[in-house]
Amino acid sequence: MSVVIRDVLNEVSVLSLRCFVAVVQTQSFSSAARQLRVSPSAITKHVQRLEGAVNVALFHRTTRRVSVTEAGERFYSRCLAILAQIDSLAATMVSERELSGHLRVTAPPSYAATLLGPNLHRFLDEHPGMSVDVVVTSDTPNLIRDRIDVAIAVQEGPVTKLTHILLAASPRAICASPAYVERRGEPRTPDDLHHHDCLSARFSELAEPWTLRQDGEWRAINVRSRLFSDSGDLLRKACLMGAGLGNFYAFHVEKDLAEGGLVRVLEDYESKPKNVYAMIPHRQLVRPQTEAFIEFARSLTVGHAAAQRP
CATH number of the domain encompassing residue 154: 3.40.190.10
| pLDDT mean over 6-35 | 79
3-state helix, strand, coil in the chain (%, to 5): 45, 25, 30
- Top pLDDT among 271 and 230 is at 271
Residues 304 and 158 in one domain: yes
Check whether 97 has a pLDDT greater than 70.
no
- Total domain count for the chain? 3
Residues 186 and 219 in one domain: yes
Residues 29 and 85 in one domain: yes
Residues 21 and 73 in one domain: yes
Q: What CATH number corresponds to the domain at position 33?
A: 1.10.10.10
| Residue 209 DSSP class | P
The boundaries of the domain holding residue 26 are 3-94
Whether pTM exceeds 0.85: no
Residues 184 and 266 in one domain: yes
Residues 127 and 186 in one domain: no
Residues 148 and 186 in one domain: no
Residues 185 and 154 in one domain: no
Return the pLDDT at 91. 63
Q: What CATH number corresponds to the domain at position 210?
A: 3.40.190.290
Residues 233 and 104 in one domain: no
| pLDDT mean over 260-282 | 92
Predicted confidence band at 239 (pLDDT cuts at 50, 70, 90)? very high
For 132-150, write each residue's pLDDT tens digit.
Answer: 999 998 887 788 777 888 9
Domain's final residue, options 94, 123, 154: 94
Residues 246 and 133 in one domain: no
Residues 142 and 285 in one domain: yes
Domain's final residue, options 41, 60, 94: 94
Residues 254 and 181 in one domain: yes
Predicted confidence band at 310 (pLDDT cuts at 50, 70, 90)? very low
For 156-185, write each residue's pLDDT tens digit.
Answer: 887 777 788 999 888 899 999 999 999 999
E strands of the chain, at which residues?
59-61, 66-68, 100-107, 129-136, 150-155, 163-170, 172-176, 198-201, 210-214, 217-221, 225-229, 245-249, 263-264, 274-280
CA distance 73 to 24: 8
Return the pLDDT at 1. 41
